[in-house]
Structure 1
Amino acid sequence: MEDLDDGQGYTAGIIGFCTGTHNLLALVENYTEDHTEDHRDNGLAPYLPALRKGDGTDSHEGLDPGSTAAADVQGALSRCGEARGAGTAAL
């Protein structure tokens, strides 16, 4: 996950979900909804508050690249092939 300095906030995953365009939040919300029974396998749910707060902006608040949050989100996205499908279905 990185900031490409394009005004879209963080860009994550092979598809390029962005915090500035709402689609990263949509992906994480859909993934979390589909994985409510076992939150131990959902490394993305803890970042929903930060994603909601910065949705539609280029804010890094709560997802600072110097923290583990950015790495956790990117790692969870790369491990969750079905998350990409779930996220794109809603977009």
Structure 2
Amino acid sequence: MNGTVVIAVVVALGIVGLIVWVLRSTDPVTRMRSQYLRRVHLPRAQAEESLARHMARLQERHPGKSEAWYLHQILADLKRDRR
């Protein structure tokens, strides 16, 4: 009986963890910002400044696009340049 309760608690915690993970990862803008910050290998403040410069440059070249579009382009450029 004790083993069954432990298994039920572990499964319940796993399900809750999965739900939290899915809900946190659904915002594409937040996810892409985090990807950029991890990929540039700079201190956080410098990485955020770099991202802001990239965003400003793209907004001048391609006005009216969504933030997700700009972030996607920045990540694609970063990936291309790392090849």
TM-score by length of 2: 0.32
More strand by share: 1
